[in-house]
Chain A
């Protein structure tokens, strides 16, 4: 971990057109303060990789509603009606990916793998344009790794070293995304002195910056 930072310092990392992974599942475990900080800038044309399109008032949904997103890569967009509208108007590109494939594409990048072989999506629209590889007589789709310029992590308790544990179901995509981006920034719920080594889920070498928690 490099440093604890304030919102203003985080904003300096932002640029038009970058790719950002946003943790959370239907906004549970989403880094809301970092998303709000993006909205305080003029940054646009973002590619967002997130499990879903969030809601219109929370998670990745806030960026979508504000028109900051050029391309959304997600598994589910049904909870945010704006996503469908922007997609139909041709104002935002949406790539839908099965949830288990999406998380494996992210994990593959973070683990240095050239992709994963999954049976999910065979004989559906998902296989269009993808390589099919047979292993031991079983067919799989080759799904390529997904990388981001920045991963924004939420739902966590951080310690002074930058280790993380996650609160309840807020873990979801967060620890996986923390492995697959050039800069990893955490919006913790709470900062404690130390986390028991047996309870650490994301170890500090993976984390670059932690947004300070104001009391």
Chain B
């Protein structure tokens, strides 16, 4: 199974019945494909959709936050950007899942600018990490072998001390007040592999096999 699907499938297990969830662009978007249909999960898009459905085959006046033609589920609604970000900042969104370039031991993340190279902008990410009850980072563990989970972010921050959980193709890492706890490791890797691919100090007390992985 490809790495991104491993990550998306694992994150889907974190979502609880009744959650209002915002999924970012990239790997986070794929999380939607793995949500247990028995759970009542509502997806929000920051451009103003409550209850967004799958992408549509045809060009539509309804686009998701990635600008892709999409659909809306029965019971869904359209809102303006002020109401949408009011929901986000106001703590009404239970979980936000987004990608990152770097995450650090304090749970800070960087994702919106690589000075002098690439400046996509923060879009809604700063509001989402500020206001959501739980922030889950979905990303590859390294960037071509270079660690992305660091002692301290080197790139300009998207949010300071906002991340709750980091899910990569190698591991699940929980951010607590005393640091990063390695809680699950993918069966294809050893704890040593994860430690080697991580710059940050990992607290290792009780490590489980990554949930949702068929062995």
Contact = CB atoms under 8 A, between A and B. Distances in A.
A28 B63 CA distance: 7
A161 B54 CA distance: 37
Contacts, number: 134
Contacts of A75: 121-124
B121 A169 contact: no
Given A84-B119, A120-B130, A123-B160, A99 B63 contact: no
Contacts of B65: 25
B80 interface: yes
B124 A124 contact: no
Interface stretch (A12-20, A31-39, A170-178): A170-178
Interface residues of B, number: 43
A125 B125 CA distance: 14
Nearest to B127: A100
B80 A124 contact: no
Nearest to B90: A100
Nearest to B119: A84
Interface of A: 25-28, 51-52, 74-79, 84, 87, 94, 96, 98-101, 103-104, 107, 118-126, 155, 166-176, 201
Interface of B: 45-49, 60-67, 72, 78-82, 85-86, 88-89, 108, 112-113, 118-127, 130-131, 156-160
Given A75-B122, A121-B130, 18 more contacts: A25-B47, A76-B122, A77-B119, A78-B121, A78-B123, A99-B81, A99-B123, A99-B124, A100-B85, A103-B80, A103-B85, A120-B127, A123-B157, A168-B72, A169-B47, A169-B78, A170-B61, A172-B80
Top 4 nearest A-B pairs (CB, nearest first) are A100-B85, A78-B120, A100-B127, A123-B160
